[in-house]
Each structure stands twice: as C-alpha cells, then as structure tokens.
Chains A and B, each alone.
Chain A
Amino acid sequence: KAGVTQTPRYLIKTRGQQVTLSCSPISGHRSVSWYQQTPGQGLQFLFEYFSETQRNKGNFPGRFSGRQFSNSRSEMNVSTLELGDSALYLCASSLDRAKNIQYFGAGTRLSVL
C-alpha cells in the first residue's frame, strides 16, 4: 500500500507570492491533516479535513487555507508569502476521525526568499 504522498518535495518562492502544496493520503484514509515544522516553533497543527470539510483549525492566519477533494486528496495554499513561512510542511492521513493514528508524508520544504 502506498504511503502518504506530498508534492512537490521542494519549493522556492519569493515574498508576496502564493503557493499550493498537494497531499495524496493512503488509499482508504479519509482524514487529512497538515502541520508546519520550523526550527523555532517546532511542529504545529494547521488544519484537518474530513469529507471535504475543514473540521479543525490551528492558530494560523487566514493566509493559510486548504481544501479536500472527493477522493480525499488535499491541497493547502499559502497566499502573500512571508519569510517566516519557510518551513517543512507535513501532511498526515488517518482512516477517519476516530481511528486517529496519523501517518505522515515526507513533507514539502518551502523556502521563501
């Protein structure tokens, strides 16, 4: 069974641009969560999607958004990039909201110049 797939693996953007990251969950998994990892703030929860609806949201500004498609694939978007958005963005999937063992992808490393 394929694991969680995140694309692209690396991205370089400049301040003010926007970016879209993609996540394909493990087949059959319906819940997708996103996390940001930085040296300063560590691992922080961004949001969770289930059945194409955002179910939970962390403490991030509205520039961070996401969506989930009917096949459970998810995208997250960051608009008006800031230098501080440079981070490893990790996507995790779980079977559903009750069976909450999350399996993570390898992440997308975003660098904002």
Chain B
Amino acid sequence: AQKVTQAQTEISVVEKEDVTLDCVYETRDTTYYLFWYKQPPSGELVFLIRRNSFDEQNEISGRYSWNFQKSTSSFNFTITASQVVDSAVYFCALSEAKSGANNLFFGTGTRLTVIP
C-alpha cells in the first residue's frame, strides 16, 4: 500500500533561517511520482515540483531545493533564507503508475510559520 509521512506537523522559524521539510514515502510500484504542493491561507494548492522514480537528481529553484533519495524513500524540501511569504502548509504527495498517475496520495502536511 502507498503512504506518505510528514512527521513534522508544525515548524516555526525566524525569517532568513533555512528550514527543511521532511517527507518519507512507501510504495510497491517501481514507477511513481513525488510532488510538493504549497497551500497558503487562500486554500488553493500551488504546485512546486514533480519528480519521477527514475530521476534522483536533486533540484534547486531559487531559494527552494529538493533532495530525493530512493535508498531512504525520502523526498525532502529545503527553503533557504526563509521569508514571511513562505508561511503556508506544505504537502508532499505520491502517485503510482499502477493505481493512476493522477491519483495523488497526500501526506498530512507541515505548517510552516516564518516569523519576521
């Protein structure tokens, strides 16, 4: 069965600090996709990144970076020099080719608060 675990329920950091959000996943499928979404107070889920199971390259986009490690089934997300606008709930999600690539299984989310 598939599962996504975000053990950090809430994190508070002071502006300009770096913060890492953890994500651990479980799947028996060999072809799967991992995602991060941001949910600001407005409620809309904002897509941040997608990785497929065959691409373990880490990625950097501005202040955001992602570390995908199949050996530990983790897909962690780091925000460098955090800003108040980064305050939101962040969701890690998994989809499997076998059960439907558009069927996302979400973790419970990590609420990030950046204190000015």
Measuring CB to CB, which residues of chain A are less than 8 angstroms from any residue of chain B? 31, 33, 35, 42-45, 48, 55-56, 58, 88, 90, 92, 94, 97-98, 100-107, 109
Contacts and interface: CB of A to CB of B under 8 A. Distances in A.
Given A88-B43, A103-B47, A107-B43, A58 B102 contact: no
A104 B35 CA distance: 13
A80 to B, nearest CB: 25
Interface residues of B, number: 24
A43 B106 contact: yes
22 contacts: A35-B104, A42-B106, A42-B107, A43-B104, A43-B106, A44-B106, A45-B104, A48-B103, A55-B102, A56-B102, A56-B103, A90-B45, A92-B45, A97-B101, A97-B102, A98-B101, A101-B50, A102-B47, A103-B47, A104-B45, A106-B42, A106-B43
B35, B37, B43, B50, most chain A CB atoms within 10 A: B43
Contacts of A58: 103
A77 B43 CA distance: 21
Interface of B is mostly: strand
B60 to A, nearest CB: 19
Interface of B: 33, 35, 37, 42-47, 50, 91, 93, 95, 99-109
